[in-house]
Amino acid sequence: MNGGGVTVELRDIEIFLTLAEELHFGRTAERLHVSAARVSQAIKKQERTIGAALFERTSRAVRLTAVGERLREDLRPVYQGLKESLERARMTAQGKTDVLRIGMMPVNAHDLRPFWDAFRTRHPQWGLRIRHAGFIDPWGQLRAGDIDVLVSWTPVEEPDLTVGPTLFTEHRVALAARDHILADRPSVSLEALGDHGVIGPVRPLPDYWEDAFIPYQTPSGRQIERHHSAANLDELFAIVAAGEAVNSLGAHVVRYYSRPDIVYIPLHDAPLLSWSLVWRSDVDNEMVRAFVRVVRDLGTAAL
């Protein structure tokens, strides 16, 4: 792409936008199947071209600068439109007429293969694309039209969004450093979160939605303090591994994020966590309706 005498490679734009979402060089490299050095090289090249830093880097975290925030907002719709044009061309070449775009907040897309496979079998005329969606700005991709449907924990009480059937439910686990005082216990209570404090988001989330994931109070009514903040799972894991806080997540992380420095402890008095389909109420999408029928036919999975 060329504008005003500035040439930017499409791959470099993809790297920038992915890093702006992940805020972690290693995770960005993994998602794009490139080396961390390639990610760093692309960002440095863009910063030299623009003449300003796009990210603030510390030993613990990566953050967008004001210039980086503006560039992300300007580039995202342009890049998304170009990607969708290329995807439509590819689908047309394969005899498919459109593609359903699903955003996943949980990381266990593999567990949900029966849903994906059933949709593809019933509707071979459509493609299916599954992408990660972070918990910061949780419904931004939906509202921007970047995805058609989101898998989110519930409840979701947004006036412009519709909540559909539940894909799966799961137990919850507490996370603690391997040498933490809780680490050897067979299970713990939500009261333990009040004893040690948890990690909050770097940006405000709707109170009801955050409370549904990690409550603000223990069953006895004590406050659960948010001692630190994180923008993604990698930052959260780093804080927990350092022994600075504990936290709670859905139990699927036990399978998908096995780590030598963190233990997962069942929370024996926490309610099940439910993950459901969410989509924009003002968009009439035939593919979303078809996928909703698939989920209702197969029923909620218990993982």
Q: What is the DSSP string of 157-226?
A: --TTEEEEEEEEEE-EEEEEETTSTTTT-S-B-THHHHHH-EEEESS---HHHHHHHS-SB-TTS-B--E
The string of pLDDT tens digits covering residues 131-176 is 989 888 899 999 989 899 999 999 999 999 999 999 999 999 999 9
pTM, entire model: 0.73
pLDDT, residue 289, reads 97
- Rounded-to-10 torsion of CA 144, 146, 149, 154: -60
pLDDT, tens only, 254-267 = 999 999 999 999 99
Residue 152, SS3? strand
Say how far residue 68 (Cα) sits from the centre of its chain: 20
28 vs 267: which has the higher pLDDT: 267
pLDDT of 19 higher than 80: yes
Q: Mean pLDDT for the chain? A: 91
Opening angle at CA 235, ends 233 and 241, nearest 5: 95
Locate 170 and state its tokens: 């799961």
Q: Compute the half-sphere exposure of residue 147: CA atoms within 13 Å on the CB side of its CA.
A: 24
What does the pLDDT look like over 91-103, one tens digit per residue?
667 666 689 999 9
